[in-house]
Structure 1
């Protein structure tokens, strides 16, 4: 079976969910992982787990040499833009592998080889675990010059690699709304191109598989048991993306060591896979939802019963995946425009530092970089200012 090496590059303090991801890597004994970063000193190596202690300065030095331009990453997240070039930057590590891949740490992996069969590996050169665009949290590249050097076809390469901004080059350049809606990536408008653009331009030479291998959100009913990941005990999945769970305002982010081998991911908690704790987890999910609905009900009554004109919000336009959110402070009202909805903004009575979009029935809060609009399940969506 074709050998695969996944690069796991992460700089900074490891988050609370890292042990869950790490265990799912260990349990994939027939797939290899190379951890690259500045906080993997205590990582225990095994047959399929290796590590390289790298600082950002080390990466900058190597990337500058391999890419032929001055690279100066200042923060870890920027490394996402460099992922399509890992076949060149880390070429010395993949000489004995048929494929190399990229993998985030905010995921839990199922049985990789159970999904990426030899037949699939034989027939595809690039594999994405999402159907609409290249998935930055897990993608696989065939280790051949055409694929490894594909990133060089970008006309914006120097801008992407030398500016501090994250251009989402490893995915679709930020055109998520359009491609999810079915628009061809080459028909979208973006500041730069991305690996998605390059794959589409080369679709006659590069065999791509964009497959629905992953789930996200906070659906609950996800079980991990010694390398097997399943949903609702009905079907097996390759990967669960924790992007929403880790940001959700209601989720319990305290985990204990004994759950790593087998555990249940409820909507708002992660618990060991025992009957008693599974029941407690379901009860907790129900309690969280009822509590929020009751507070929301009384909050609307209190907001309507007092003068409520927020004056501390910043005027401007905010953007999330192509969707605009506009705030206007007026003399009588503070208003918003979100997609096709327009209405008033009220200051929450029960939820400190939160505001309420009355006509949209949504809460949001403001931070230094933009707005976090809260979905009804407790997951915030970040709208960046000035985009």
Structure 2
């Protein structure tokens, strides 16, 4: 395994039922031993063996609320009935979990409905040496994969939004971590100065800071979403059409239309992802002959 000079830690806060696709998440992530993942939860994620680079941090949702209130300086009260609201806090991860992230060069937030390719093939030391922020999409910062340099400037960047207090205290999810639900406008090439309505999201903040030469971000096409089919995962690598290597596949739609008919007890080192399901190659009945 190639030695890397810069270290990466990823964070996810998760409170809820453990989904069937978590097994694929874990299986693919264990092939990235040089990237660490912290799962903040009180769910039984560790009932089955986890690879050494996935670490469970035991915190109840009440613990999170206390921690966030202390670090942010105003009352946070995320309800267990609407734990999805935690997505709003992703850009604040560098501040909220600074003790966990101490010593890492970059930290990032992710989602659990992801199948990983080889992270270091894409997120190289060279890239991390050039940029302060790395986005998995070219148009906006996705909640399923965005990376920040572990500095005070980047860890408090979210505070540059005039709406961050509102985003963290409003009962509804406002999509602060991405675009404030202005995805279409950013895809169309509009800038934060041209997009009115909604809240000042992280995408607005990043564009403002970039224009002021305060940060240097990279927006690139590292991931696949939707239902493209023709994906193959093999021994830690993810390929599209057997030609293009991919950093990750975000199962945001596939998980809604597909659930395995049987309990998943074993995931092979090669499997395929069509536009409707994940399927494993059948084992040979000839015992390898």
Same fold per TM (> 0.5)?
yes
The correspondence for 1:257, drawn from 261, 265, 268, is 265
Deviation at 1:36, TM superposition (A): 1.0
Residue 38 (structure 1) aligned with residue 63 (structure 2): no
Deviation at 1:77, TM superposition (A): 0.6
The correspondence for 2:167, drawn from 160, 168, 175, is 160
Label 1:16 to 1:45 Cα distance change in 2 as closer, same or farther (>3 A).
closer
Question: Which residue in the other structure is 1:62 paired with?
Answer: 67
SS of alignment partner, residue 185 of structure 1: coil
C-alpha contact (below 8 Å) 1:127/1:208 kept by paired residues: yes
* Structure 2 unaligned regions, length at least 5: 285-289
Question: Which residue in the other structure is 2:287 paired with?
Answer: none
* TM alignment of 1:221-232, pairs within 5 A: 221-232=230-241
Question: Which residue in the other structure is 1:241 paired with?
Answer: 250
Deviation at 1:252, TM superposition (A): 4.5
Runs of 4+ with >6 A deviation = none
Structure scoring higher RCO (CA < 8 A, sep ≥ 6) equals: 2
Deviation at 1:270, TM superposition (A): 1.0
Question: Which residue in the other structure is 1:345 paired with?
Answer: none
Deviation at 1:271, TM superposition (A): 1.3
Residue 217 (structure 1) aligned with residue 226 (structure 2): yes
Deviation at 1:253, TM superposition (A): 3.2
- In our comparison, the structure showing a higher alpha carbon Rg is 1
Per-residue Cα deviation, 1:147-179 (whole angstroms, up to 9, x for no partner): 001111111122111111111111111101111
- State the distance in 2 between where 1:151 and 1:128 align: 15
Per-residue Cα deviation, 1:258-277 (whole angstroms, up to 9, x for no partner): 2353211112121113598x
* Structure 1 unaligned regions, length at least 5: 277-387
Per-residue Cα deviation, 1:57-115 (whole angstroms, up to 9, x for no partner): 11111111111110000121101111111111000011110000101001111100010
- State the distance in 2 between where 1:226 and 1:92 align: 33
Residue 129 (structure 1) aligned with residue 136 (structure 2): yes
- State the distance in 2 between where 1:98 and 1:115 align: 16
Residue 89 (structure 1) aligned with residue 86 (structure 2): no
- State the distance in 2 between where 1:260 and 1:169 align: 37
Question: Which residue in the other structure is 1:207 paired with?
Answer: 216
Question: Which residue in the other structure is 1:13 paired with?
Answer: 17
TM-score (norm 2): 0.91
C-alpha contact (below 8 Å) 1:20/1:260 kept by paired residues: no
* TM alignment of 1:99-114, pairs within 5 A: 99-114=106-121
Structure having the higher strand fraction is 1
TM-score (norm 1): 0.68
Label 1:122 to 1:228 Cα distance change in 2 as closer, same or farther (>3 A).
same
- State the distance in 2 between where 1:104 and 1:43 align: 20
